[in-house]
Amino acid sequence: MPELAEVEYYRRQWDAGMGERIRRVFVRTQARVLRGVEGQRLTTLLCGRLLHASSAHGKQMLFRFDRELSLGVHLGMTGSLSVHGPGYDPARHDHLVLFQARRALVFSDPRQFGRIRFDEGPGDPRWWRELPPPLISRGFTPALVREWLARHRRAPIKAVLLDQNRFPGLGNWMADEILWRAGLHPQRMAGSLAASEAAELWRCIRFVTRGALRYVAPAFGDPPRHWLFLHRWHRGGRCPKHRRPLGRATVGGRTTVWCDRCQPRRETLLA
DNA sequence: CATCTTGTTACGTT
DNA sequence: AAACGTAACAAGAT
């Protein structure tokens, strides 16, 4: 489910507990989402700690506690964070619950494609420091996009956009939205883009990222009707620009939606 | 019942 | 050595 804007929405859910102490920890020790994190150790170390700060970077989240403890959360396909009352009774797919005096901070994930991390030590953990530049940052430049297109020149552009090593936080719906706006067919080879197309792609990445954060992050709302977003989910959906039926195929291993008129399959040669 | 899924990664092939 | 495609992970929705 979550791409960068949904992740940001979930991160804010736990803001309710900021600056307050963890009284008790529930952890499903054998859960796959722990990915090697030892539940007992996590419980021992987190009990009594203050939740200091949180941040999101692409689809990753990091929650910081006093005594240099860091809790990393990735939501996978079906993960979520929520807040409940202090007497909350963990449900079947809740894998980690941090109880505070007045609430319970809950991590839930039915499919368990998500991941919990737990690190000790000053500063941010190494895996966090090594994340690529956020899409909304000065470090994310058109040159980085060009270099990535060249490196993956034989792959379909849709698959390239889904690579978290360069486009942290982009997921299936955002990638389709970006390509639709950029007028690029998802099956175009990355190496076939003209310089002007790559520049437009960069602009659309920024535009869609800002829009997603604006429309989705505050209250899990929908983008406007003139975005592809609302039209892409069901078969029979039509392009919001001129009502043409949307194309649909698997590209880069994911269900992909596009408009043949906005995104011609033929390689465009020059602007 | 069959098919689908807003994500990632291990593995085999090119 | 990189780059690329695919299967697998698991459970719920349609």
* Per-residue pLDDT, A121: 93
Q: Give the separation between CA A114 and CA A80, rounded to whole angstroms.
A: 9
| Residue A60 falls in which region: left (phi positive, over 0), alpha (psi -120 to 50) or beta | beta
* Per-residue pLDDT, A234: 83
Q: Give the separation between CA A197 and CA A204, rounded to whole angstroms.
A: 10
Contact A217, A9 (CB under 8 A): yes
CB of A6 lies under 7 Å from some atom of strand B: yes
CB of A245 lies under 7 Å from some atom of strand B: no
Looking up tokens 């990735």 gives A74
Pairing of strands A115-120, A247-251: unpaired
pLDDT in single tens digits along all 271 residues of chain A: 689 999 999 999 999 999 999 999 999 998 999 999 999 999 999 999 999 999 999 999 999 999 999 999 999 999 999 999 999 999 999 999 999 999 999 999 999 999 999 999 999 999 999 999 999 999 999 999 999 999 999 999 999 999 999 999 999 999 999 999 999 999 999 999 999 999 999 999 999 999 999 999 999 999 999 999 999 888 888 999 999 999 999 999 999 999 999 999 866 433 3
From A11, A28, A59, A188, active-site residue: A59
Which chain A residues in 117-146 sit with Cβ < 7 A of strand C?
none
A1: the nucleotide nearest its CA (via C1') is: B6
* Per-residue pLDDT, A269: 39
Sign of CA dihedral A176, A180, A182, A185: positive
**Angle between helices A142-151 and A195-215 in degrees, nearest 10:** 110
Please list the residues that pair with A119 across neighbouring strands.
Answer: A70
